Structure 1
């Protein structure tokens, strides 16, 4: 469970939300690098996907229920905090911070988020507002902290996501016109997480991350076409049409409404910044979208 740090000390590391998109990528990267890690999960069925990974200890618990976290936090020096944005994120992460501090955790890294759009208004999207509120809470919590702020994930274009491509029609249907985004590969973020959690000198710092390109949705479709060898196209629609389609897929109206907030702001903000300082600081090679599409070609084609 322990890893040697640069100063020769040892630290037990906990990753919360270990079965989610981001958490599982981080846990897998720890395992790939041969660094032991502990993962916190709620759903035993989802935890099965990580059960055979070398060096990974899985512990069940609920971040909202401190009494269930004793085993998960035992001996932990550093924790990476991730939880779903669709379920009481502020209360969940605040509760965990206080529980972790009481348990003796020395350093918390918050897996946060920051839109790449130049001029994006954080107040226009509830998810961004909640991340900002949690960051402010953590800054005043009396515990060492680091903020990691990736932009939109490349993985959100995969067919199994709410905003992904249609693998049958080979279409990317989005309501943001010709605005540019700079999505980042979750695997890049996972590499940064491992490097950050196993090195020193990050207390009180924040690290923004985007992908290496600011792309229109038409350019994203072109990258998927090049990566898969199958033609994909971008189909621009109105916000109302996209919301109606999501609800028709079974997405709860509150979730569709939340997505509508971010779609509307992305449609308003036409240009995106590209921030690669964090990649460089931790020696991670940025993944271009076409390379992401190439390594996930089977998924894009629904196989």
Structure 2
């Protein structure tokens, strides 16, 4: 059985991290969500602080910032894995990215660390529309992105969290890779249209050229490294390689994944896109 000593959540305030934290606590597990702002802190750029964040823990859920696609991510995951083994952790669950060569390198690095591992491989979250950079655009009535007719099987962050918690809190998930998606694939335009119908107001989708997208980000003073990452996600990764629906949620949890329409209804009811917020 897995020990009930603390489970570290690297990125404990992120979309999936805070959900993993809440679910583990509901299950009765002690947790230690860590980030740059916590004590002990965890900063991917300051590996000298990782040991104190991991001390006394039994397992870890790991999300990498800003993305496993960036240079050096695989090396950081390898070092964290070695440290976790030295600290006596029993397993690591890693949130990885579909169709990203850098993420694949990080996955291989984790597998060699000597710990039980579980990889949850995902791409675009439903919650990108309500808890991230697209939320303000929806409220404003126009979503403008360099994404055309390529379909994406958006996955719910709640499903990702439940898969991660199953791997952390129960047996049978060691050394498994779960590639998780929603049950159907949509274009960004179709996703925006579903939100528009649910809200009962017009929300326009505009396809931008890559050049116009970059210019808009530069005008908003987005850092160059983030611009480069977003360009990669919208051009290289969003090229159809991830359009296929997978059965990872069913495999891990024994139930189908949440549908995008269910997410939209729940988010709308919560006031996520309220004009009065």
Q: TM-score band (shorter)?
A: 0.7 to 0.9
- Paired residues of 1:66 and 1:99 also in contact (CA < 8 A): no
Question: Can you list the C-alpha shifts for 1:146-172, whole angstroms capped at 9, x where unaligned?
Answer: 2110121112223x6335561343122
Distance (whole Å) between structure 2 residues aligned to residue 179 and residue 283 of structure 1: 29
Q: Which residue of 1 aligns with 2:236?
A: 265
Please say if 1:250 is aligned against 2:221. yes
- Paired residues of 1:12 and 1:37 also in contact (CA < 8 A): yes
Equivalent pairs, count: 271
Q: Which residue of 1 aligns with 2:79?
A: 95
Residue 260 to residue 163, structure 1, CA distance change in 2 (3 Å): farther
Please say if 1:74 is aligned against 2:74. no
Please say if 1:60 is aligned against 2:41. yes
Please say if 1:150 is aligned against 2:131. no
Aligned residue for 1:112, secondary structure, equals strand
Deviates most, 88-97 or 237-246: 88-97
Please say if 1:299 is aligned against 2:255. no
- Paired residues of 1:228 and 1:293 also in contact (CA < 8 A): no
RMSD: 2.6
- Paired residues of 1:175 and 1:267 also in contact (CA < 8 A): no
- Paired residues of 2:78 and 2:113 also in contact (CA < 8 A): no
1:135 to 89, 104, 107: 107
**TM-score normalised per structure 2:** 0.86
Distance (whole Å) between structure 2 residues aligned to residue 76 and residue 270 of structure 1: 37
Q: Which residue of 2 aligns with 1:85?
A: 66
- Paired residues of 1:82 and 1:110 also in contact (CA < 8 A): yes
**TM-score normalised per structure 1:** 0.79
1:28 to 19, 22, 25: 22
Residue 294 to residue 34, structure 1, CA distance change in 2 (3 Å): farther
Q: Which residue of 2 aligns with 1:105?
A: 89
Residue 72 to residue 256, structure 1, CA distance change in 2 (3 Å): closer
Per-residue deviation, 1:209:
0.2
Distance (whole Å) between structure 2 residues aligned to residue 216 and residue 65 of structure 1: 39
Distance (whole Å) between structure 1 residues aligned to residue 173 and residue 238 of structure 2: 35
Q: How is 1:136-215 mapped onto 2 (pairs within 5 angstroms)?
A: 136-158=108-130, 161-164=132-135, 166-215=137-186
- Paired residues of 2:74 and 2:102 also in contact (CA < 8 A): yes
- Paired residues of 1:16 and 1:40 also in contact (CA < 8 A): yes
Aligned residue for 1:166, secondary structure, equals helix
Q: Which runs of 5+ in 2 are unaligned?
A: none
Q: Which runs of 5+ in 1 are unaligned?
A: 45-57, 116-127
Distance (whole Å) between structure 2 residues aligned to residue 130 and residue 261 of structure 1: 12
Q: Which residue of 1 aligns with 2:252?
A: 281
Q: Which residue of 2 aligns with 1:218?
A: 189
Per-residue deviation, 1:91:
4.1
Q: Which residue of 2 aligns with 1:235?
A: 206
Question: Can you list the C-alpha shifts for 1:250-271, whole angstroms capped at 9, x where unaligned?
Answer: 2112321221122123564388
Distance (whole Å) between structure 1 residues aligned to residue 104 and residue 74 of structure 2: 10
Distance (whole Å) between structure 2 residues aligned to residue 166 and residue 61 of structure 1: 32
